[in-house]
Amino acid sequence: MPLSRRSTLTQYLIEQRRRFPQASGELNALILDVSIACKGIARAVAFGELGDTMGMVADGGAVNVQGEVQKKLDVVSNEMFVRTAEWSGHLAGMASEEMAQPYQIPESYPRGKYLLVFDPLDGSGNIDVNVSVGSIFSILRAPQDVIDSGRDVVEADFLQPGSTQVAAGYALYGPTTMLVLSVGNGVAGFTLDPNLGEFKLTHADIRVPEDTREFAINSSNSRFWEQPVTRYVDECLAGRTGTRGKDFNMRWIASMVAEAHRILMRGGVFLYPRDNKDPALAGRLRLLYEANPIGFVMEQAGGRASTGRQPVLGVTPGSLHQRIGLVFGSRHEVERIERYHHDTARREPPNPLFAERGLFRD
């Protein structure tokens, strides 16, 4: 399709809004604010060493709430999201990987009915080697009492299961800058036209193939994997001579946005499962602003997103920065991994302390 005939992001959002004549347009405006932040981040990423955003925040590096060393571009990206979205009157509050507590909308700005949660620069550990990175975002409705009273938001206001998301998506900063978005009616991809500074619709109705021959996992953690994950990977590696009867390719970029985008474009399955490396953690990825938005996009595109044991969008968060295991991608592969977890759970013997003739018998 000629570039001049492609819809812009604004036109696409207007068309989506027409499905809901009663809608106020605030959601559209908020998504456009997010897109502006992503354009700014894309520009900062593109300058690389030519800009003043590379390297650590300070000598030795500052540490965020996750205990991870912050890079300058992490902080710059977070600031772009906050400053672009705080003033418009569409938000009741924000939360981010780079902020320990919810961000309050300044009193000088009006407050709205939505919550914005985001990872401002996912995969920033790859920025020094020029690998694709991205931003991930999720939009939730604020609780009604927040909307009615205009009170400051608290952590509990954000602890909503992923199934309640109003919209979610990500921006990919690679050879081209793309914005992939779902407003609950499928998934669309937009490419930034550098001449016009506009996101243009280039990938309408993205669908994840149900079957695949590709999987992505960090195999250096294999000694910590749970048995169902080991079983699945071993079967894939066995190829056509194994029980699966077909050869698989393995991929690992270590940038979840890049992994998700590859899967959306051509299928595959991504695993960052719960493991035994640190038994105190239920997983490595953050539920609210990584797993939920990516899971929402995958499900809207016909794929599946799971903890390995249950749909990730059904998990009610317990804390703002909660971590979780995540498996997503082609539906049939994710369902197979879930079956392996359930098979293992059924075979595990009961805890002897609570068995019929255990210490606690009547």
Count helices and strands in the chain by DSSP H and E runs: 9, 17
Give the pLDDT score at 178: 98
Helix boundaries (H) for 55-95: 72-85
Q: pLDDT digits over 33-65, tens only?
A: 999 999 999 999 998 888 666 655 554 456 666
Delineate the domains of the chain, giving CATH numbers in brackets. Answer: 3-203 (3.30.540.10), 214-347 (3.40.190.80)
- CA angle 175/177/182 to nearest 5° reads 135
Tell me the C-alpha to C-alpha distance, in Å, between residue 259 and each of 1, 166, 256, 354: 27, 23, 5, 43
Give the pLDDT score at 71: 84
DSSP annotation of 143 reads P
Which amino acid is it at 299?
A: E
Q: What are the residues facing 291 on neighbouring strands?
A: none
Q: pLDDT digits over 198-254, tens only?
A: 999 999 999 999 999 999 999 999 999 999 999 999 999 999 999 999 999 999 998
Give the pLDDT score at 58: 53
Closest CA to 306 of 205, 243, 232, 250: 232
Q: pLDDT digits over 270-320, tens only?
A: 999 999 999 888 899 999 999 999 999 999 999 999 999 999 999 999 999
